[in-house]
Copies of this chain bind each other. A is one copy, B any other.
Amino acid sequence: MNRSKKVSDAVIKRLPRYYRHLSALMESGVERISSKELAARMNITASQVRQDLNNFGGFGHQGYGYNVNILYREIGAILGLGGELPCIMAGAGHLGTAIINYKGFASRGFVIKKIFDIDENIIGKEINGIEIMHIKDMQNYIRDNSVEIAMLCVPHSAANEIVKCAVEAGIKGIWNFSYHDISVPDGVAVVNVHLSDSLMTLSYKINEIKNKGL
C-alpha cells in the first residue's frame, strides 16, 4: 500500500460499497469480474473503479479483470477487517439496543464486549448476552481490555464527557450517534452518524421533485 499519498474521503466511502458488491458476487459464484461489469452493477464508471482500486495497488490482470475472491479479501484488509475489533457500547437505549442486537457486525469482527449505561435499574442485566456495566467503569474497562472502538448512543448532553473518558483510556475510534458532531484529538478516528440529517436529506429530495413538477 502506498502510504505517501492520502486517499480521498470520496474513495474511502466507496470501499464498503465495493466490499458489499463483491460479497454478493461471491455468493452468486462469480469468480472474475472486469472493471466495466463491476462499474455497471454499481452505477459508476469503469475508470473510477480502476482509479479507486489503484490507490491501494494493482489487484487486476490485463485481459482478465479482477478475481472476485482476492479483491474481496484485499478490500477487507484495506478496511481493517480480518481480525477481531473489540468494541464497547455506551448507552443502552433503543438505538444502542438495536445495534447491539444487529447480527451483521460481529461476523465482520466488530465484537461488542460490554455495554455501559447510567441507569442503575439495568446494570448487571444483559442484552444479546452482553453484560451492562455502570458508565463509571467504562474508562478502566477500555484501558484494561484494549478496546478499540466506542459506539456512542447516549443523549448529547452526556456525549462530550464520555468521549473524553474514552479518549483518555486510549480508544482508537468513536462511532458517534449522538446529536452533535464530536471532535477528538489527532490519532483518534471519528465517524458521526446523524440519522436526522439523513432523513432531512430525504425530505429535501422529495421537495425538490415536487418543485420540479411545477
Contact residues of A between 178 and 214, Cβ < 8 Å to B: 179-181, 187-191, 193-212, 214
A-B contact pairs, 28 of them (CB 8 A): A3-B214, A12-B204, A13-B201, A15-B200, A16-B194, A16-B196, A17-B181, A19-B200, A20-B194, A20-B197, A78-B204, A79-B203, A80-B203, A85-B203, A94-B97, A94-B101, A94-B102, A108-B196, A110-B199, A148-B206, A149-B203, A173-B203, A174-B202, A189-B202, A189-B205, A190-B205, A191-B198, A193-B198
Question: Which residue in chain B gives the minimum CB-CB distance to A9?
Answer: B201
User: Residues of A at under 8 Å CB distance from B?
Assistant: 1, 3, 7, 12-13, 15-17, 19-20, 24, 78-81, 85, 93-95, 97-99, 101-102, 104-105, 108, 110, 148-149, 172-175, 179-181, 187-191, 193-212, 214
